[in-house]
């Protein structure tokens, strides 16, 4: 059983003295993300610093190309003009290669606002979360590419659901819910046109709303009746949706989404995959806003990997809520007296 207390185990790190901190600091900072050259030389791991302007530009350009290709494919599917995923596959390969260098930048983008019904962005961020889970599960690179493509296309059946139903700002009627729940079958009908070599996409599109306790749809499958990829994308889809606005509800902060999943939905997900999500995302993921113990507010811009509290944070607001003229960056791995105390909704500071 996964408990929220299990993922707060590094809280003890905060309370340790400086001497004890050194051993844990080395264990967390000198992870597999760092090479011997990083540790002994002048280079610094991209996971332990803010991204450069050049890195941001290159990463955002690749994201935009991916968004355009996916948007074009979705438009083609809506109009029933064909299903050519070759351009998408080429970009996905580039994206996988770029993950080690640009993951922090991608995660910052993933927590931004987008239109409540933008299936393209929802699919991109679901795929990104899924691949982070896949890496924690030690899935090989070739399969990670397939997992990412499956994440991008997991909800294609929604493209054949009437827009007026998807944009409802209230709970749907029973007939409308039945229409929405038909999208796995619609998705399977779309994806089967790709041929046998893409059967893994059919499985994901048809099963990602199934749950290991049998409470999902369309077939009520249980446990190992559900494929690995559908299970990964199912939990990634749930997390992504809860951290963004939808027509019928407002988003929740990542920490509270994690707590809700762990405390009220844990029976629905494979414990091993749920644990991988918690390890991949952390309580204060890159892109989220946080308050420090000195009451300053900033945005997490780099993840320390093993710790839920020791990140790189760009300080944007002072202790009295004043916006800083020149934001500064603090590495909480080294600033032993500073630590994160709570998540913050950045909209509270939007007009300051």
Q: 78-82, 89-93, 331-335: which range is least confident on average?
A: 331-335
Task: Confirm whether 39 is domain-assigned.
Answer: no
pLDDT of residue 47: 54
* Shared-domain flag, residues 238 and 91: yes
Q: How far apart are CA 231 and CA 236, in angstroms?
A: 9
The percent of residues in the chain predicted with pLDDT above 70, rounded, is: 81
pLDDT of residue 331: 87
Residue 333 has pLDDT above 60, yes or no: yes
Domain boundary among 228, 249, 281: 281
* Shared-domain flag, residues 211 and 291: no
Residue 19 has pLDDT above 70, yes or no: no
Give DSSP secondary structure letters for 153-193.
HTTGGGGGS-HHHHT-SSPPPHHHHHHHTTHHHHHHHHHGG
pLDDT of residue 189: 92
Residue 153 has pLDDT above 90, yes or no: yes
Residue 43 has pLDDT above 60, yes or no: no
Place 1 in a pLDDT band, splitting at 50, 70 and 90: very low
Task: Confirm whether 5 is domain-assigned.
Answer: yes
Omega before residue 218 within 30° of 0, cis: yes
Residue 327 has pLDDT above 70, yes or no: yes
pLDDT of residue 174: 66
Q: How far apart are CA 242 and CA 148, in angstroms?
A: 20
Task: Confirm whether 37 is domain-assigned.
Answer: no
Residue 80 has pLDDT above 80, yes or no: yes
Of the ranges 12-21, 134-143, 326-335, the best mean pLDDT one: 134-143
Angle made by CA atoms 21, 253, 59, in degrees to the nearest 5: 80
| Residue 162: how many other CB atoms lie within 10 Å | 10
pLDDT of residue 22: 36
pLDDT of residue 298: 94
pLDDT of residue 256: 92
The percent of residues in the chain predicted with pLDDT above 90, rounded, is: 55
Q: How many domains are contained in the chain?
A: 2
On average, the pLDDT of the chain sits at: 82
* Shared-domain flag, residues 246 and 162: yes
Residue 146 has pLDDT above 60, yes or no: yes
Place 39 in a pLDDT band, splitting at 50, 70 and 90: very low
Task: Confirm whether 81 is domain-assigned.
Answer: yes
Q: 57-61, 69-73, 97-101, 225-229: which range is least confident on average?
A: 97-101
Place 35 in a pLDDT band, splitting at 50, 70 and 90: very low
* Shared-domain flag, residues 97 and 127: yes
* Shared-domain flag, residues 198 and 185: yes
pLDDT of residue 279: 87
User: In Å, what is the CA distance from 44 to each residue of 25, 256, 303?
Assistant: 15, 32, 14
Task: Confirm whether 36 is domain-assigned.
Answer: no
* Shared-domain flag, residues 25 and 60: no
* Shared-domain flag, residues 333 and 199: no
CB 290 within 8 A of CB 297: yes
Q: How far apart are CA 212 and CA 229, in angstroms?
A: 13
Q: 173-182, 217-226, 335-344: which range is least confident on average?
A: 173-182
Domain boundary among 281, 313, 337: 281
Return the residue matching tokens 């997991």: 154
Task: Confirm whether 328 is domain-assigned.
Answer: yes
pLDDT of residue 38: 32
* Shared-domain flag, residues 194 and 290: no
- 184-212 pLDDT, tens digit each: 999 999 999 999 899 999 999 999 999 99
Looking at residue 268, which CATH number applies to its domain?
A: 1.10.3210.10
Q: Which residues contact 201 (CB under 8 A, 6 or more apart)?
A: 149, 150, 153, 191, 194
* Shared-domain flag, residues 249 and 106: yes
* Shared-domain flag, residues 214 and 344: no
Task: Confirm whether 219 is domain-assigned.
Answer: yes
pLDDT of residue 305: 56
Q: How far apart are CA 282 and CA 84, in angstroms?
A: 36
Task: Confirm whether 292 is domain-assigned.
Answer: yes
pLDDT of residue 50: 65
Place 27 in a pLDDT band, splitting at 50, 70 and 90: very low
Give DSSP secondary structure letters for 269-305.
S-HHHHHHHHHHH-SS-TT-EEEETTS-EEEEEE--S
Q: Which residue segment(s) compose the domain that 103 sits in?
A: 44-281
Q: Which residue has the higher pLDDT, 334 or 30?
A: 334
* Shared-domain flag, residues 124 and 206: yes
Domain boundary among 247, 281, 315: 281
Place 25 in a pLDDT band, splitting at 50, 70 and 90: very low
* Shared-domain flag, residues 111 and 67: yes
């Amino acid at each position: 059983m996964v408990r929220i207390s299990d993922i707060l185990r590094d809280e003890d790190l905060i309370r340790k003295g400086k001497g004890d901190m050194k051993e844990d600091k080395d264990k967390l900072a000198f992870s597999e993300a760092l090479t011997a050259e990083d540790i002994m030389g002048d280079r610094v791991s991209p996971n332990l610093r803010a991204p450069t302007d050049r890195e941001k530009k290159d990463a955002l350009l690749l994201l935009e190309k991916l968004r355009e290709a996916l948007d074009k494919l979705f438009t083609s599917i809506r109009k029933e003009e064909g299903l050519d995923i070759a351009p998408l596959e080429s970009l996905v390969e580039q994206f996988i290669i770029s993950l080690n260098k640009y993951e922090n930048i991608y995660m910052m983008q993933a927590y931004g606002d987008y239109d409540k019904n933008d299936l393209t962005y929802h699919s991109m961020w679901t795929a990104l979360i899924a691949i982070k889970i896949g890496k924690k599960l030690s899935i090989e690179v070739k399969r990670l590419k397939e997992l990412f493509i499956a994440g991008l296309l997991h909800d294609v059946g929604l493209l054949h659901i009437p827009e007026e139903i998807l944009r409802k700002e209230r709970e749907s009627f029973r007939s409308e819910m039945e229409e929405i729940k038909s999208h796995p079958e619609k998705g399977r009908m779309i994806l089967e046109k790709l041929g046998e070599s893409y059967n893994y996409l059919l499985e994901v599109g048809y099963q990602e709303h199934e749950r290991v306790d049998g409470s999902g749809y369309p077939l009520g499958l249980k446990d190992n009746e559900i494929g690995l990829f559908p299970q990964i994308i199912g939990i990634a889809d749930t997390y992504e949706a809860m951290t963004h606005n939808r027509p019928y509800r407002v988003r929740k902060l990542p920490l509270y989404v994690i707590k809700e999943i762990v405390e009220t939905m844990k029976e629905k997900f494979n414990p091993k995959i749920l644990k991988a999500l918690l390890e991949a995302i952390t309580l204060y993921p890159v892109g989220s806003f946080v308050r420090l113990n000195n009451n300053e507010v900033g945005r997490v811009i780099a993840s320390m990997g093993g710790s839920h509290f020791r990140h790189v944070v760009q300080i944007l607001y002072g202790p009295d809520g004043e916006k800083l003229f020149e934001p500064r960056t603090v590495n909480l791995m080294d600033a032993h007296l500073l630590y994160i105390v709570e998540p913050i909704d950045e909209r509270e500071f939007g007009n300051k």
